[in-house]
């Protein structure tokens, strides 16, 4: 009988704590404005570089940044620099109809376009045969938004 009484007291105390905790969490939690506000299209600018580096004896080229994230509807300005002083490289983000002619060594070009639809797209060099690592010169362009 004594044990049953302690079990009941424990259950009442535990239930009270859970209710108080739930009440406090409910009273103090407010979602951040960014989670509730509608996304307003912005103009987003990025500098994108095709950088040349060495991995051991092998010369490799990487787009930096390798991932660009924008919101659907944003106007995007890309300043694209070919950091390779030996050969021309291009830029293509075909899924969003962005295709640039070959960029001479060391040169920078600018392109402006609208991130018209959400998705995960790939960009890369479109000068076939530019270098042995041509196929590795890729990056991701992520457009956030509801489909
Ligand atoms: Cu290339």
In the reported structure, the alpha carbon of residue 34 is separated from the centroid of ligand 1 by a whole-number distance in angstroms of: 38
CATH top-level class of 36-144: mainly beta
pLDDT (0 to 100) of residue 9: 76
In the reported structure, the alpha carbon of residue 28 is separated from the centroid of ligand 1 by a whole-number distance in angstroms of: 53
Q: What are the tokens at 135?
A: 């196929």
In the reported structure, the alpha carbon of residue 53 is separated from the centroid of ligand 1 by a whole-number distance in angstroms of: 14
Q: What are the tokens at 143?
A: 């457009």
In the reported structure, the alpha carbon of residue 66 is separated from the centroid of ligand 1 by a whole-number distance in angstroms of: 14
Tell me the CA distances in angstroms from 65 to 13, 17, 51, 136, 141, one per residue in order: 55, 49, 10, 14, 10
Tell me the CA distances in angstroms from 74 to 35, 42, 112, 114, 141, one per residue in order: 18, 5, 11, 6, 13
User: Tens of pLDDT along 61-84?
Assistant: 999 999 999 999 999 999 999 999
Other CB atoms within a 10 A radius of the CB of residue 87 amount to: 15
In the reported structure, the alpha carbon of residue 85 is separated from the centroid of ligand 1 by a whole-number distance in angstroms of: 12
Give me the residues of the chain with pLDDT under 70, please: 1, 18-27, 29, 31, 33-38, 147
Map out the domains of the chain as residue ranges: 2-30, 36-144
Single pTM value for the model:
0.73
């Amino acid at each position: 009988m004594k044990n049953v009484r302690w079990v009941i007291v424990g259950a009442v105390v535990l239930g009270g704590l859970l209710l108080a905790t739930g009440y406090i969490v409910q009273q103090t939690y407010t979602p951040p404005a960014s989670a509730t506000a509608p996304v307003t299209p912005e103009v987003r600018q990025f500098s994108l570089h095709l950088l040349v580096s060495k991995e051991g004896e092998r010369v490799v080229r990487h787009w930096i940044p390798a991932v660009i994230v924008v919101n659907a509807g944003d106007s995007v300005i890309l300043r694209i620099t070919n950091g390779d002083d030996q050969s021309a490289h291009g830029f293509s983000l075909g899924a969003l109809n962005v295709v640039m002619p070959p960029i001479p060594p060391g040169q920078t070009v600018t392109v402006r376009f609208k991130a018209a639809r959400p998705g995960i797209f790939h960009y890369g060099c479109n000068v076939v045969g530019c270098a042995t690592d041509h196929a590795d010169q890729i990056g991701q362009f992520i457009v956030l938004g509801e489909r």
